[in-house]
């Protein structure tokens, strides 16, 4: 069976629900993972997703900040909410997709942005981000594989990971080396997380590392297409057990032009399950 998973930092699900509905009607992914929903659970727009056939959902949100959600046409065999770094700030949920005898484990992550100053001694937000990556790498390597009997080797991790790890994941490697999201320490910790389960970077399976690839463009750029000062902050990763099942990927770049657009655009990947 084909399985299409999409990830999108929506920057307020209620404010942009019309864009979400349009995306789901046009693209019909099997699963959509949202970040920065900025919505407490009791106010999540469940009816809109029901109407489009996304009747299986795990939402974990709070008022005004953060928040993650998984909406799916595929049933879940299990769900989990994970708290990181001693905080309950709605950044990590996990579902087991009912794909037969070996469910696909899907993690939806919204890793802290880290503020503006790339110094953990001066900036608590940046310190939180680094600690989040350290904790996540350990968890993926040591805890997640034995966290539940139903947890198999077929894993997908998606989300706004707030790091552009490669030189051509940013518009200027040289100018952004001391800018949060592309600093050497963030790239190092991103790599440590990748190594924790030998994660495969799905888009880079199709686009060589020496080619530019972005999923985010700042609202500050009045003509984002002309300046094209983007970063690749939104990721789809898969474990080696699904490496031969990767069929395609797409970054829905044109959606950055939609009315009330998020500064992020969806990233999609299809697998032959």
Contact partners, residue 129, CB within 8 Å, separation at least 6: 111, 112, 113, 114, 162, 180, 186
Provide the residue range defining the domain that includes 99. Answer: 2-272
- Residues 16-51 have pLDDT tens digits of 999 999 999 999 999 999 999 999 999 999 999 999
Q: Which DSSP state fits 200? A: E
Contact partners, residue 9, CB within 8 Å, separation at least 6: 34, 35, 36, 110, 159, 160, 216, 233, 234, 262, 263, 264
Q: What is the pLDDT of residue 146?
A: 57
Q: How many C-beta atoms surround the C-beta of residue 10 within 10 A? A: 25
C-alpha 145/C-alpha 132 separation (Å) is 19
C-alpha 122/C-alpha 131 separation (Å) is 15
Tens of pLDDT along the chain (273 residues) come to 899 999 999 999 999 999 999 999 999 999 999 999 999 999 999 999 999 999 999 999 999 999 999 999 999 999 999 999 999 999 999 999 999 888 999 999 999 999 999 999 999 999 999 999 999 999 999 876 655 445 568 999 999 999 999 999 999 999 999 999 999 999 999 999 999 999 999 999 999 999 999 999 999 988 999 999 999 999 999 999 999 999 999 999 999 999 999 999 999 999 999
- Count of the separate structural domains present in the chain: 1
Q: What is the pLDDT of residue 149?
A: 44
- Residues 80-89 have pLDDT tens digits of 999 999 999 9
CATH of the domain at 139: 3.60.10.10
Pairing between strand 68-72 and 31-35? antiparallel
Q: What is the pLDDT of residue 100?
A: 86
């Amino acid at each position: 069976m084909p399985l299409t998973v999409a990830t999108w930092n929506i920057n307020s699900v209620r404010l942009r629900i019309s864009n979400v509905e349009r995306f789901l009607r046009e693209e019909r992914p099997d699963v959509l993972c949202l970040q920065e929903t900025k919505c407490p659970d009791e106010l999540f727009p469940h009816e809109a997703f029901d109407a489009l056939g996304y009747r299986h959902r795990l939402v974990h949100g709070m008022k005004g900040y953060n928040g993650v959600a998984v909406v799916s046409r595929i049933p879940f065999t299990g769900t989990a909410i994970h708290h990181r770094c001693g905080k309950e700030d709605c950044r990590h949920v996990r579902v087991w997709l009912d794909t037969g005898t070996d469910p696909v484990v899907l993690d939806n992550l919204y890793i802290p942005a880290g503020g503006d100053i790339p110094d953990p001694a001066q900036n608590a937000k940046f310190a939180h981000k680094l600690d989040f990556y350290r904790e996540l790498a350990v968890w993926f390597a040591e805890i997640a594989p034995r966290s539940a009997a139903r947890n198999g080797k077929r894993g997908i991790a998606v989300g706004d990971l707030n790091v552009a790890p490669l030189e051509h994941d940013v518009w200027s490697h040289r100018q952004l080396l001391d800018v949060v999201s592309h600093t050497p320490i963030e790239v190092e910790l991103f790599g440590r997380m990748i190594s924790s389960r030998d994660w495969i970077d799905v888009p880079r399976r199709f686009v060589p590392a020496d080619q530019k690839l972005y999923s985010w463009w700042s609202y500050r750029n009045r003509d984002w297409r002309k300046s094209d000062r983007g970063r690749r902050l939104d990721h789809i990763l898969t474990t080696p057990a699904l490496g031969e099942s990767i069929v395609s990927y797409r970054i829905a770049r044109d959606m950055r032009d939609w009315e009330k657009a998020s500064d992020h655009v969806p990233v999609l990947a299809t697998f032959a399950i």
